[in-house]
Amino acid sequence: MLSDTEKLHKVLARAGLGSRREIEGWIREGKITVNGRTATLGDRVTGAERIEVDGRRIAAKRIEDVPTRVIAYHKPEGELVTRDDPQQRETVFAHLPRLQKGRWIAIGRLDLNTSGLLLFTTDGELANAMMHPSRSVEREYAVRVHGRVSEQALINMTRGVQLEDGPARFEEITDAGGSGSNHWYYALLVEGRKREVRRLWESQGMQVSRLIRVRFGPYQLPSNLRKGQWRDLTPGEINQLRETAGLAALKPRVLAPEGPVNPKNTNPAVRSRTAARKPALRNGRPTARKGPWKGRDK
């Protein structure tokens, strides 16, 4: 239950059902009911009501008044980003800290064979805003490919190629070096379609052998965060994410105090856009190149 009444659209946005604007639209369309009555704009709720969206009841736990908390998790390969798996495979949620109230919401996903940075939050509005295509939030990956990659292939991927679900492109590709038949690159996207990074490289006949997400928005995977470990973001880091997502900063009283940190995970790692690496390719135009990938893949 909420500590005080709150506007319905704000409560449902925080639960991760959509943006406030989207939910206002659903209210206008009569898709939301409160205790069996069609909701109206301006309705306020306590959390004890029976709230339904398109006939589906919203669990009370999803709309509890909980402080906003965000954690960074270093996902290993072989873990699914799902709460339950019919095949009983390992999931990331089994390794997250327990919450007294609320629930963890994944800000985006990584496929089974991809490792690296995953962000989780108790704030559904933040998760929804960070993932919304209109915000164009940057996702940066370290990509290892087999074989020699031609300059034309790199240009094609930054200018854009046609995939089965529409056009796609990397904003930047940076050569990170390598040895033998393996070569590393940094690749930057501003959307999160399924297997998009792998499919872009496959469109040029290249096989991705390793894929690691190293940054989401302004937050970079901490160098001392080992696979399977997590750490809390500070209130300042959370508000940087909110700024990136187009949301107002939260006051300290509605942010969770910095929680426990896995052993050895004590250093914050927020990087501003202005501190980003100089790209090897931007919009198909070659520029400077950087040194080899040094890791965080421990």
CB atoms within 10 A of CB 219: 22
Q: Which two tokens stand for residue 15?
A: 């639960």
**CA pair distance 256, 184, nearest whole angstrom:** 38
**CA pair distance 107, 135, nearest whole angstrom:** 13
> What is the distance of C-alpha 240 from the center of its chain?
14
Cα angle, residue 187 at apex, residues 275 and 109 outer, rounded to 5°: 100
Q: Give the amino acid at 158.
A: T
**CA pair distance 219, 241, nearest whole angstrom:** 8
Name the helix (H) or strand (E) containing 219. strand 219-220
**CA pair distance 54, 32, nearest whole angstrom:** 6
| 111 assigned to active site | yes
Q: Which two tokens stand for residue 144?
A: 């290892």
Locate tokens 């390598």: which residue?
Answer: 178
> If DSSP codes are grouped into helix, strand and coil, which group holds residue 13?
helix
Write down the catalytic residue from 43, 54, 111, 123.
111
**CA pair distance 214, 252, nearest whole angstrom:** 28
CB atoms within 10 A of CB 34: 17
**CA pair distance 92, 109, nearest whole angstrom:** 10
Give catalytic residue positions: 111
